[in-house]
Homo-oligomer: A and B are copies of this chain.
Amino acid sequence: MKLVYEGKTKNVYELEDGNFLLQFKDDVTGEDGVFDPGANTVGLTIEGAGQTGLRLTKYFFELLQEKGIPTHYVSANVQENTMIVKPAKQFGKGLEVICRYRAVGSFYRRYGAYAEEGQPLDGFVEVTLKDDERQDPPISEDALVMLGILTNEEYKQLTGLAEKIGRIVKDALSEKGIELYDIKFEFGKVGENGDITLIDEISGGNMRAYKNGRYIEPLELGRLLLNGE
């Protein structure tokens, strides 16, 4: 088992059968000790964050599997904080696809002249480049195609999938009285045909979730959502 990538919140190992093993860490993104799912730096370490992230990812990826949504998920070992996934090829140097239900975060920072803070956005989808150095710049379909990062057809599939998955996650949270404000996904090409597939994770670290107007921290999200599972 060979360490191939050391990420901000996960390490990635290559397995002998060609699959990969993700080791979830207790580090979460944020700044100055405050958790922020939109941040590019590790802001703090929360004991149990890795396990909760993995349990939530397992929960959502199995839910998506039931609904016929392709993911890279193979299996999870909650005791060891590890998840086995299929190999995937990323788009360019990596994209983030964001589904927005409320105008908060970078969307509000950019377009605050035209939106009230927190106004409903009805699943608006945006793509940003994964590029810490350039603060994950937003990028349009035209620019993605022009720079050879993906095709128009792939853009359509990617954003369509993101909308669908966002809706499933939103509904699952809603059943527990939690409101999803926004969520970010990563996609890759998996298998011989390069099928566009959800990769990475779905956990409190990827989303902003609120209950009765109060922000739900990643660990609390695990407790609220996985209670009794």
| Interface residue ranges, A against B (CB under 8 Å) | 92-93, 109-115, 121, 124-126, 129, 131, 133-134, 137-143, 146-149
Bound: A121/B143 CA distance, A: 10
Please state if B113 and A93 are interface contacts (CB–CB under 8 Å).
yes
Please state if B134 and A146 are interface contacts (CB–CB under 8 Å).
no
Pick the residue among B109, B124, B129, B140 that contacts A126 (CB under 8 A).
Answer: B140
Please state if B147 and A134 are interface contacts (CB–CB under 8 Å).
no
Residues of B within 8 A of A112 (CB): 134
Please state if B140 and A113 are interface contacts (CB–CB under 8 Å).
no
Please state if A111 and B140 are interface contacts (CB–CB under 8 Å).
no
Given known contacts A140-B141, A143-B126, A146-B124, is B92 in contact with A114 (CB within 8 Å)? yes
Q: State the oligomeric state as a number of copies.
A: 2
Bound: A141/B126 CA distance, A: 11
Bound: A142/B141 CA distance, A: 10
Pick the residue among B92, B113, B126, B142 that contacts A134 (CB under 8 A).
Answer: B113
Residues of B within 8 A of A138 (CB): 138, 140
Bound: A92/B133 CA distance, A: 32
Please state if A113 and B126 are interface contacts (CB–CB under 8 Å).
no
A117 to chain B, nearest CB (A): 13
A136 to chain B, nearest CB (A): 10
Please state if A142 and B114 are interface contacts (CB–CB under 8 Å).
no
Please state if A113 and B131 are interface contacts (CB–CB under 8 Å).
yes
A103 closest partner in B (C-beta): B147
Bound: A109/B133 CA distance, A: 10
A122 closest partner in B (C-beta): B146
Please state if B124 and A111 are interface contacts (CB–CB under 8 Å).
no
Residues of B within 8 A of A126 (CB): 140, 142-143
Please state if B114 and A137 are interface contacts (CB–CB under 8 Å).
no
